[in-house]
Chain A
């Protein structure tokens, strides 16, 4: 398949000062750099690096919050317990399933919404944008409760509205089975986070050079051809960044599951396991180990995206 993109532009490499002799000017610039970035750097160390390192350290202990006297070093045994437990693999499977389904649907929907926002008449554009963004402004717990009430057998309206569909009746208990629960969980997630992905894609759409579109039009390309051969290839970077952010976000799903099923019917995600060990059971060691594994999964996803799909984060911000 041939695609049309602009030739890659060479980035200008920063010119380094001649070695050995650092002029007064560059020394003071370096100091200014540290003064400007230093506070943020130390804040990041304090609020990000420190808790992560502490979690890694504590994951090596058998440590119950109510029984600090019996804290003992157990090496990697917490990790062994987790990785040999079918519950972990089940939770990982459910998390991956939710991630794949929601991100895939959101990408298609989000792209559609981005096109609508981009092409909407300029007079109604602000209204369209604002209304598309509303779900994203809703707190996740609130959105989860709203969706739960809608599907609940006692308070919900979904059963009576959609009773004409096969398989749905007034007695349908959505939260009584694994797949029906997952369906509602995914729907709530998609409703809430599609605006985020469409916003990122809108930025990408704006970057597609109009000249290429016009050239394709002159060549007689149909709308479909232009979409696949001009628009999408030119916004690949934005798509990848949107995918990366949403995947990382979706993988850490917690609130919706907590509200809707509280983990019943095998709907526990990896974050939920971490919550149950650390917060409910007060097993700081085991819970930290789950959190560290969750962190490693997230790192793996991020590195995978950047290495395999060659996502350049700076491009999406229009710096490329």
Chain B
């Protein structure tokens, strides 16, 4: 405020100064207002400028965006915008923007479990038939399944992830475990106890716990959701089945084995990878990024080169010896925003992004496995990722997490009831989780 503090008598000069100040204030306010309005208007760029919302990676998606921009010869330009690190927070941000009809979202990197929710809410632009045909040709089955909702392809498969069983060759040898054949969880636990080494699995209350439980139940021959329905009251759960009891038994056995590490109930993928680089490492289930992580650590001089040389890999462990495992499936698919001003251009760009060449680039530089089958025969890929054949085999066997509009509720309720894994009671925790999901979906309980 322009109050005269010393109480001097007001002169005409004072008044004039006040007048000037008022003008100045008015101008400043107008300037602020104008800049705010301009910011709201946004979209100052050209009509063919596409924005691609990406999950944080090692720079691969930004590079692919630049390559496709150049390749298009001016038809479109792709700019990337980075989402939060956690998949759940990526969903939160995208879904709130889309609920407000955000037209700036042309392309988005989507975690497959959330795709049904986006599709059902009408947040994804329909995939043109010819595009759908081209982007599903020679693509691993689990990736196509993850990109589909209600019998229709709603997103474009980009990269497909799966967990492998990682082991230290020296430890497996010492325990006398034949890793050329599929092994079971019980065998791993026994081998780790025998050699006094650690088993790495994700016991933290996070999405990774759902990933683990889903793989265990699917490996035992059942699914978390056995029958999908539009009305949440009609959804049937397989959490009370014998397979769910077996899954809980395995989870509990790992937690109680004494070889799960001291911080098992807070262990996430990164903590598992760190533990596996340590001296007590034996076995671990984890995504393929752990291999690249170890190699980078060797390059940075923080890890001895003999450590990754000792790394062995095999397909995910079985629950029962006579039944093949159903490894976790993950990855990223590309969705086109329903409110995008140029969905045709966005699909054109999406096709470029998922080209075999770009998938091979992304695989070898960022460690994210391709969804396209021919990429696995690329000699360069095989050289950088010697485990590529196992990844492809695992992707063919992989089972997705339950596909439902209410995935967030299902996963959060599972995390609540199955955490910590040491408190899981076979035959009790499963039904409790099913009851919680049903009550939450019926609006009778908080989550």
Residues of A within 8 A of B (CB): 62, 65-67, 77, 81-82, 85, 87-88, 153-154, 171-173, 175-176, 262-265, 273, 276-277, 279-283, 286, 290
Contacts and interface: CB of A to CB of B under 8 A. Distances in A.
B99 to A, nearest CB: 5
A66 B92 contact: no
B445 A280 contact: no
B444 interface: yes
Given A154-B271, A264-B204, A264-B205, A85 B263 contact: no
A153 B267 CA distance: 10
Given A87-B447, A153-B262, A153-B263, 15 more contacts: A65-B95, A66-B405, A154-B274, A154-B275, A173-B265, A175-B263, A262-B205, A262-B206, A273-B446, A276-B446, A279-B92, A280-B408, A282-B408, A286-B443, A286-B446
A65 B446 contact: no
A277 B117 contact: no
B436 to A, nearest CB: 10
Contacts, number: 80
B447 A276 contact: yes
B152 interface: no
B446 A66 contact: no
Nearest to B444: A81
A62 B232 CA distance: 14
B269 to A, nearest CB: 13
Given A62-B443, A82-B446, A154-B274, A173 B117 contact: no
Nearest to B88: A280
A204 B83 CA distance: 46
Interface in B192-240: 204-206
Interface string B254-274: 000000001111100001001
B447 A176 contact: no
Interface of B: 88, 92, 95-96, 99, 117, 120-121, 123, 204-206, 262-266, 271, 274-275, 405, 408-409, 412, 419-420, 443-447
Contacts of B446: 81-82, 85, 87-88, 273, 276-277, 286, 290
Nearest to A169: B262
Nearest to A62: B443
Q: Which of A87, A173, A276, A277 has the most CB of B within 10 A?
A: A173
A277 B412 CA distance: 11
Nearest to B442: A81
B266 A66 contact: no
13 contacts: A65-B95, A65-B99, A67-B121, A153-B262, A153-B266, A171-B263, A173-B263, A176-B266, A264-B266, A264-B420, A276-B447, A280-B88, A282-B408
A153 B262 CA distance: 8
A66 B408 contact: no
Nearest to A171: B262
Contacts of A276: 412, 446-447
A291 to B, nearest CB: 13
B204 to A, nearest CB: 7
B265 A176 contact: yes
A66 B95 contact: yes
Contacts of A281: 408-409, 412, 447
B266 A280 contact: no
A257 to B, nearest CB: 13
Which 4 residue pairs are nearest across A and B when measured between Cβ atoms? A171-B262, A66-B121, A264-B205, A173-B263
Given A88-B446, A176-B266, A273-B446, A282 B88 contact: no
A85 B96 contact: no
Contacts of B420: 176, 264-265
A81 B445 contact: yes
A123 to B, nearest CB: 31
Nearest to A77: B443
Given A88-B446, A262-B205, A280-B88, A66 B120 contact: yes
Given A154-B271, A171-B262, A81 B443 contact: yes
A86 to B, nearest CB: 9
